[in-house]
Amino acid sequence: MFKLLAELHRAGLLTPTGLLRLLESVATTGANPMVLLRVAAKLHPQRIAVSDDRQRLSYLELWQQAESVAIGLHSDYGVRRGRKVAIACRDHSAAIKSIFAASRLGAHVFLINPGMSPDQLMALHQWMQFDFWVYDEQLDAVFSDPSMRKKSLPAYHPTDESIDRISSSPPREETRLKRAVAGNIVVMTGGTTGQPKSASRKPSIFTFLPPFCALLTQVQLARYRSVYIATPLYHGFGLASLFIGVVLRVTMYVSSRFDAERACSLIEQEQVDVVTLVPLMLQRMLRHDSASLSALQCIVSGGAALSPALAQETLERIGPRLFNMYGTSEAGVCIIATPEMLRRKPESIGRPIAGVRARISDVSDRVVGERETGRLCIRSVWTTSRRSWIETGDVAYRDRDGDLFLCGRVDDMIVSGGENVYPIELENVLAQHPDIDSCGVVGIADSEFGQRLKAVITVKSGITIDESTLLEWLKPRLARHQMPTVIEFRDELPYTALGKLDKRALREEGA
């Protein structure tokens, strides 16, 4: 408790001035995320809030421009409490302004992957019946229909009205927004079928306080002044990074597209303290130029499984600065592995944070014992279903120390010759091979065993390796039923927009 209070004071959240600004902001704007911006703007008006590919904005500028967007959306487009606002944007300041502006009006905010196809976007629109859209300019053709033009705006546009133009307009003195309670913020997740599904939660200081406190005490985020948010803002991990960054009033760097070379250069030139990313991004930056990452004091990995080999490599090259966050869109951040945990057990995802209960159960919903595998279920006050257990879709086990370990996705498990086999077991071993750059493992039909494993591999530049040599290397490291029956070498593997290995695409390509 004393450590938590010290971190909250360090962040300026327990000072008399900080508390006064918070109460004043809630009284003026209502209980919504714009309060965070207003407090930051009042306490540190000249501090740089966001730096993207186009501009740098102070906290005062970001707050004022987000207010201008809220006024414009309300006055000119009828956005108000209870309306559904879809935001299909990559990471940039216009997207950030739109998120805060729509929340300021009490609208329900839906964060959409802008990489979806036109047909997918329109199908989603018909299904969800959105009242208004904010979108990136490359999607302009999707919204060219007159009926869509009336209820949509591009984030940027060289000539037409846009979020950027509204935010840069002089404030309308005659317009005063009423106080509003925040609507839901909904992250549209991909799911295992590829069809989007919603993970909705209502912003609340009480429900987000426990995970925020865990990040303060375990990751000590209040010590740092800058963060590069490499993960997409339309993903729960990126959105959480944005809100935490504003609460702590740090300088946030974002970019519309991740590029390892540009990311390394940014971190080195700006001397960035913290980076939030998915493991694929971390791997690519290490491969490109690990020396350029020396300024980093904290690396927060999440959004996808962190391989033990990558965890060890990061700790060896960068030092004890790697934290692994486990969570889902429905459960939020719920498990953390610290650098000390990862050094001792690089294959572990860590332990539940305070306020989280983790249960591992079998198909009969019976809680299993130590080192027995089962379905990982989470329960806390900040999940999307507070009163019941949420199934994460992952298979896991717990060791005698209470540390948790993933075995793979429930849908990934195959039965080979009567044995339950998880592809992640083979993937983790393959990742340790010095010549392998990346790998993915899926199940394929087999007439003798029912199913067997197929490994798809990319090797490092300039390296040649054959199947027989690799099988000989694997034999002493795996049981027979864990061995791949097929090994395929490719130039690249398919990944989702979030940087996760696309197992569905991998299976379809091999069909």
The pLDDT tens digits of the residues spanning 342-388 come to 999 999 999 998 888 999 999 888 999 999 999 999 988 766 666 68
Topology adopted by domain 27-201: Rossmann fold (3.40.50)
pLDDT at 7: 56
pLDDT value at position 328?
Answer: 82
Q: Beta strand pairing status for 322-328 and 332-337?
A: antiparallel
3-state secondary structure (DSSP) of residue 15: coil
Q: CA distances (Å), 256 to each of 51, 94, 114, 229, 262, in order?
A: 11, 11, 11, 11, 12
In the chain, list all ranges with CATH 3.40.50.980.
Answer: 27-201
In sequence order, the 6+-apart residues with CB closer than 8 A to the CB of 457 are 430, 436, 438, 439, 470, 487, 488, 489, 490
pLDDT of residue 9: 63
pLDDT in tens, 184-196: 898 876 544 445 5
Residue in the structure block whose two tokens are 């944007």: 89
Summarised one tens digit per residue, pLDDT across range 194-245 is: 455 555 555 555 456 566 777 777 788 888 999 999 999 998 889 989 999 9
Closest by CA to 50, choosing from 101, 88, 109, 97, is: 97
For 483, residues 6+ apart whose C-beta sits below 8 A from its C-beta are 426, 453, 471, 474, 475
Residue 281 is predicted with a pLDDT of 95
Q: Provide the pLDDT for residue 206.
A: 47
pLDDT of residue 191: 46
- Percent of the chain at pLDDT > 90 equals 61
pLDDT tens-place values along the chain, 511 residues long: 555 556 556 666 667 887 788 888 888 898 888 998 999 999 999 999 999 999 999 999 999 999 999 999 999 999 999 999 999 999 999 999 999 999 999 999 999 999 888 888 999 999 999 999 999 999 999 998 888 888 999 999 988 899 999 998 876 665 678 899 888 898 876 544 445 555 555 555 545 656 677 777 778 888 899 999 999 999 888 998 999 999 899 999 999 999 999 999 999 999 999 999 999 999 999 999 999 999 999 999 998 889 999 999 999 999 999 999 998 877 778 899 999 999 999 999 999 988 889 999 998 889 999 999 999 999 887 666 666 898 999 999 999 999 999 998 888 888 887 888 889 999 999 999 999 999 999 999 888 888 999 999 999 989 999 999 999 999 999 988 899 999 999 999 999 877 888 988 888 765 5
How is 107-169 classified by DSSP, letter by letter?
Answer: PEEEE--TTS-HHHHHHHHHHHT-SEEEE-GGGGGGG-SHHHHTTEEES--SSS--HHHHHHS
Query: Residue 73 is inside which H or E element, if any?
Result: helix 59-77
Consecutive H or E run containing 504: helix 503-510
pLDDT, position 307: 92
CATH of 413-510, one of 1.10.10.10, 1.10.3210.10, 3.40.50.300, 3.30.300.30: 3.30.300.30
If one looks up domain 205-353 in CATH, what number appears? 3.40.50.12780
From the number of C-beta atoms within 10 Å of its C-beta (0-12, 13-18, 19+), residue 138 rates as exposed
Query: How many angstroms separate the Cα of 507 from the Cα of each of 5, 193, 393?
Result: 50, 12, 19
Q: What is the pTM of this model?
A: 0.88
The confidence score (pLDDT) of residue 193 equals 43
CATH 3.30.300.30 occupies which residues in the chain? 413-510
Tokens of 14: 């327990």
The SS3 of residue 335 is strand
* Token pair of 196 as six digits: 């989007």
Residues of the chain with CATH 3.40.50.12780: 205-353
Q: Is the Cβ–Cβ distance between 89 and 98 less than 8 Å?
A: yes
